[in-house]
Chains A and B, each alone.
Chain A
């Protein structure tokens, strides 16, 4: 514990440099705007942002990602409360009571509650990251190549099965990502795989090109097809009834505590996103309430429970990402991609060799949550809400412009832009056909880790495949993977008995 505190103290000085503070303030601001715009989310924001961070100090780059992440999670609440349109999937639950509050003339209060709850959830989650990640990273010291191979398989299985609506499509999406990851020159044999004789493909596909194509371009095409030519009117963005006293804090401490714990637990589980945390937290708060009938009719506790839980998921989702390389949700997968871009490999070595960066990131997750509290004031929310006045047909070409500048700056290559376009079309087809995108991204990220460790394990065992199944830790991870894979069969059986069908949503 002493070591962790020392590392945090040491990293704090690096975090408090003016470049870092500026990056966090700028990114949190941008994050709130991105979250406030329906159709845009933290995933798109971070995907477009990663190329911008190439030349930066890794800590500044991670500070920006932390800001976008936390900022966008709160930003999603603005249209959810004012217009009943969730800015991000995690804000769906916020609409349940946020919009009715708005209709009762309490939009200002609803946003204030959302802001404070988001900030509290984010801060508690960051503390959980600081306290849980370092000891967990030490556990992974017992891992060998076989364990790492199975960890990658477990990560892929859980994200594929739990994140989408259809486990088969989720797993197909993961295999697609894994296959794309094999493209390029094999580092061990030097053999070119699936390059079609194209010189630019020999070094493989840069993760950023695939990410921007898969995440950003489908949004542009869908926005264009929707052809929404009008932004939201100024009258619809009117705020009222913002007073919140000390009594409010006393009223919300229970929902905040419950939501924070739920958000952290859900965040650590690979595959479960902030929307699931918000749903569970909302249901539990409603169940514990003395007046459950008031939920859905403008109960402020509903807003507090939802917003606190979806932000408590944020930093917690980075716990398995930083320690095992298995992200807790799709945004954590993107941040993991950002870490890899900066040459930072998750695992115990990251905590040992880049302590300042990894502990600095934890502090940045905390500070950006505090920034959400500062930015989320009523005046600021009023400003952020103005982003909603921009028509979507204007927003679409601006996103294309950002995609081009971001992808081009990866390798200064026009070829990459055409590759991005191809992946954009694939992403569009995947969205339309209900294939989740996150497993594909995770497949791309974890594919390399899985292949290297599989080869290493087989090399050590002189080709004996049984080595994959005989080590005790491997057996535990295999058992967990089997449980995850059988989970949909169990839920389908349970739902058939109950006649209910519940569907989680991808972040």
Chain B
């Protein structure tokens, strides 16, 4: 019997979520707890099935990695977080003007014309569609705040 690590860890995480959901539902009013407990129960049973299966499935997934490139994944995640954070701090269009080119350049694109043209076109289109045409509110630019 060999262990399928990815499947086992996933099954344990889901089982933990199900147990938490079941226990937490105990603090709800009686009527409000029925449905969440039904779901948590089903989730627990299914994760146990997955867990049992992972013990017998073998380690066939050893060759397939979860991350294709962990450093790139982290870099991308940091960039997305930075983009979101600076959207609140600097305003949407300023953050976009900084992070879209930075994103592309840090991922290895070395064609400044493509990067600048794509960024400018994107900002103009978003402004025209979201702000001008549909009047959707966006985080205000830092230099326009009162």
Contacts and interface: CB of A to CB of B under 8 A. Distances in A.
- Chain A complexes with chain B: yes
A336 to B, nearest CB: 20
A63 B10 CA distance: 40
Contact of A227 (B32, B47, B69, B111): B69
B21 A194 contact: yes
A408 B42 contact: no
A178 B107 CA distance: 37
Contacts of A293: none
- Is the contact region of chain A dominated by helix, strand, or loop, or is it mixed? helix
A405 B111 CA distance: 26
Contacts of A188: 31-32
Given A189-B29, A220-B80, A400-B83, A52 B136 contact: yes
A418 B129 CA distance: 24
A401 B36 contact: no
Contact of B134 (A55, A391, A393): A55
Given A176-B43, A394-B109, A186 B126 contact: no
Interface size class of B (residues with CB under 8 A): 35 or more
Contacts of A135: none
B31 A56 contact: no
Contacts of B6: 433
Contacts of B122: 398, 401
Q: By DSSP majority rule, is chain B's interface helix, strand, loop, or mixed?
A: helix
A414 B139 contact: yes
A381 B50 CA distance: 46
A404 interface: yes
A31 to B, nearest CB: 15
Nearest to B131: A405
Given A404-B84, A408-B87, A409-B137, A225 B76 contact: yes
A186 B32 contact: yes
B126 A401 contact: yes
Interface stretch (A164-172, A260-268, A351-359): A164-172
Given A221-B76, A221-B77, A225-B69, A417 B35 contact: no
A409 B109 CA distance: 30
Interface of A: 51-52, 54-56, 168-169, 171-172, 175-176, 178-179, 182, 186, 188-189, 191, 193-194, 217, 220-222, 224-227, 229, 390-391, 393-394, 396-398, 400-402, 404-405, 408-409, 412, 414, 417-418, 421, 424-425, 432-433, 447, 450-451, 454-455, 458
